[in-house]
Amino acid sequence: MTEAQKGVAAMAIACIVWGLSAIYYKMLSDVPPLEVLAHRTLWSLVFFGLVLTGQRRLGAVPAALRAGGVNVCLAAVMISANWFLFIFSVQAGHAVEASLGYYIFPLMAVLLGRLVFGERLSRGQAMAVALAVGAVLVLTLALGVAPWIALAIAATFGLYGVAKKRMAVGPMVSVAAEVLVLAPLALIWLWGVHHGHWSPAGRDGGWFGRDLRISGLLVFSGVLTGGPLMLFAYATRRVSLATIGLVQYINPTLQFLVAVLIFAEPFTRWHGIAFALIWTALMLYTLESLRQDRAARRLASSDATSGTVVK
């Protein structure tokens, strides 16, 4: 395999894991979402700590906090909210809406790029965003309520991307810094849960340590979070961003299939119309991204050729 093929394979595996992760969180339905989130945060910190120690890059984490503390904190809040929303949506029977959120995310990112960074929208991108808005309106008018979970998932992940764009460190180090910021809150929450300070009525303490299967699943959340991220980082160094953008649609597609085929969540005619609009929007967005990528490659090739001195 070429390096590019290895990168595509790594990205595909990461997206498959992310797409099927709803099954994992469904197995933790008895554990409250905030308790799952706290464990995901702490075991992710353990995972990243071990990996970065092995790579002799652990010292880069405090350096990242010193260099971009505000952006690290913003990213930490956004990714924590995104994780919570996904866990909650799966456990509460809204996995279809969660998949819609991750479909909307690339279009939300384009819109945030325009609003925050002043990036210019091409005609194709503007049409894609308009179709996504139409899909949201269809669901809102047909179901009588806006798809808030989908919008919140797309918005939190989009704002997470805004914070990440302002950081000058790689994904492994930055996420390690983010979960390090969140770790004290996770510890406080779990301390309160296990001591019964804010457990629901009829519950005596937290789940960890009470059930071997659930305890093992909670520990595995660190690997489930960190493993795909390592594959993603590997892929980004070997393939173009346009290719990564295309392959990443495996994730919400698998989420959607899991929600409908395995969880048997309702999928109405209005959902079908909204998803059709979103898929059309993503097709336009992807074609535009590929066009821009080819144009950038041609420009780079032209600059390289014009800069060559023939002796």
User: What is the three-class DSSP state of 267?
Assistant: coil
Please, where are the H alpha helices in the chain? 3-26, 33-54, 60-67, 69-91, 95-117, 123-143, 148-165, 171-194, 212-236, 241-247, 250-257, 269-306
What residue segments make up the domains of the chain, in order of their start? 3-194+207-306
Does residue 310 surpass a pLDDT of 70?
A: no
Per-residue model confidence as pLDDT tens digits over 19-64: 999 999 999 999 999 999 999 999 999 999 999 999 999 999 999 9
How many residues belong to the chain? Answer: 311
Phi, psi (degrees; rounded to nearest 5) at 4:
-65, -40
Question: Do the Cβ atoms of 253 and 114 come closer than 8 Å?
Answer: no
Using a pLDDT cut of 90, give the percent of the chain over it.
52
Average pLDDT over residues 173-177: 91
Q: What was the pLDDT predicted at 145?
A: 84
Average pLDDT over residues 187-203: 78
Average pLDDT over residues 4-33: 93
At residue 109's C-alpha, the angle toward residues 103 and 112, to 5°, is: 140
Q: What was the pLDDT predicted at 311?
A: 43
Does residue 295 surpass a pLDDT of 60?
A: yes
Per-residue model confidence as pLDDT tens digits over 280-292: 988 888 888 778 7
- Of 18-32, 168-182, 188-202, the poorest mean pLDDT is in 188-202
Per-residue model confidence as pLDDT tens digits over 64-96: 998 888 999 999 999 999 999 999 999 999 999
Q: What was the pLDDT predicted at 236?
A: 79
In our burial notation (b when 16+ CB lie closer than 10 A, e otherwise), range 166-186 reads ebebeebbbbbbbbbbbbeeb
Question: Do the Cβ atoms of 145 and 270 come closer than 8 Å?
Answer: no
What does the mean pLDDT of the chain come to? 88
Average pLDDT over residues 211-224: 94
